[in-house]
Structure 1
Amino acid sequence: MAKDRMKDLKNSIPKSDASYQQLPQVQNHNTLNIVDDCGIPLTSIDIDKEHKVSEFLDRINSLRERIDEIKVLTRDVKKIYERMRQPEPDPELEKKLVGKNAEIKKLRDDIRTELQKLKQEYQFQDETQESAEWRIATVQILNKIKEFHEIMNQYNQEYCTHRDKCEKAVLHELQITGRRTTQSERDEIVVKRMQGEDIIPVIVDKEEIRQQAIFIEERYHDIQRLESTIVELHDMFVDFTELISTQGKMIDNIQQYVLNSADHTEKAVINIAKTTKIKESTSNKKIIVCIIVIVVIIILILIFIAYHTTQKIILGR
């Protein structure tokens, strides 16, 4: 948004420290010459120019006030639209809306006319286009034009938004009731809804809508129960998946245990064979030892007998 340079425009009016003790009696072309105590001219004030600037400022302030009024009225219209979209709107809202719209249109026409006049007055002033006053005035005019366009766009946007919401509500209600309508009938219903009229009796009987609402609510509860059942089944399938995964791990562990047991069994068979061989070898050794012991005993007995026999022979002599 352009900068508000109203203060600069006021400050651009020439000021002087002139003394007003002596003033000339002659005034030509609305120009006032100011002299000091010695009669030397100090400066001059263009009365027409000052009056023109003051008039311009008054016109700009008037435009600002009227634009502010449109802003306030636009907010009021927005609130009325919101209240008219409620289920049971106030019948007096339509009158209020008509009054607000009439005020906005009147202000719009006045502002548009005034802006056109200002543009025509300041558009072709070639001799003053390089002056600060002309530039500031042009900026102020463009600023007000921009503000005016913005607030009117906002006003039109509120109307379009209100129409779109009313149209969506009408289409939703027609879809619920199941009634088929033409485009012209829908447009007529939308216009009535925008004016705050209750279109439900026009579309279908309220009792039928109540029954359909009950039916829809029951179907909604059925859908909710179905959703909860689906969620439970989903949780059950998740549990089954986890259980199958756990059992798969257990089966893998059992298979590993079987393989390990087979290895241990083969080792045990080998050890048993070795033990059998060792046992047979030990038995043979025991037999040999027993034979040796018996032979030794027999030899000892023979030696003992031979010894006693020899002693007897010796003693018999």
Structure 2
Amino acid sequence: MKDRLEQLKATCDHDDEDVEIAVDNAAFMDEFFSQIEDIRNSIDKIDVNVAEVKKLYSVILSAPTSDQKTQDDLEALTNDIKKMANNARNKLKTIERNLEMEEVERVSADLRIRKSQHAVLSRKFVDVMTKYNEAQVDFREKSKGRIQRQLEITGKTTTDEELEEMLEGGNTAVFTAGIVDSGISKQALNEIEARHKDIVRLESSIKELHDMFVDIAMLVESQGNMVDNIEVNVGKAVDHVEAAKAETKKAVRYQSKARKKKIILVVIGVVVLIIIILIVVLTQYVKTNAPPPAPVAPPFISTHQWETTLLEP
């Protein structure tokens, strides 16, 4: 009896451990999905800010010189993007390290879920940062084109290589040397200097984000097959949903037609039943109310026939 009691206690303790592990795992997954949601919100906010940056780039390029407010707004957005991008990148790297450590120890269903979530968010992050980088490069090229046109107005022709060397030097005097006394307008000179400052600030921002961008891009490249498989599976799921919707619509149409046919058959059956009832009722009524038959007169016998009948023995 004592041994049995000890066995039951051991079993209960084991069950308690299983429950505790399940509860801890559920709490861990809740925390993980909370992190994922934070990263997703940061990426979405970066995407919104990139759209605003593009608008400010257009404003700057459309004006001879950009006003201070526009520059301040652009700088604030750039700093905001940089801050959120670093935050998202650090969280993604932390999750990546944790996944690598767990993968060595064990492979479970929740581990696969977390790897998929991490891969999808990493790809999304790279897509947004690629969009931002493309906007920066486009703005740089257009600003460089404006500088080149202004220099051509002064009669100072420069090649792309020479202009790149000037831009990388970071010295505004290189642009204005020899053209201050050439009759160039103050406005044109100011635009050259303003465009140069824009490019210098832009170069600094691009360099700051370069390492982070390359780091995450390499991670996504290594996860390429996983992300592609996820996208394929999502595409298949969407196709299945669309097919199911189409089949559901067909089923509804068929069910509606069947219901109409059933109603028509019921109506026909009711009408036939009513007709039969009317026939029976009318038949009974006719039989009940029919007049009695007229009395039949006795056959007429002549006197001769009567006498003959009486004389017969």
- The TM-score with structure 2 as length reference comes to 0.46
Structure number with the higher helix fraction is 2
Q: Under a length normalisation based on structure 1, what TM-score does the superposition of the two structures give?
A: 0.45
Larger radius of gyration: 1
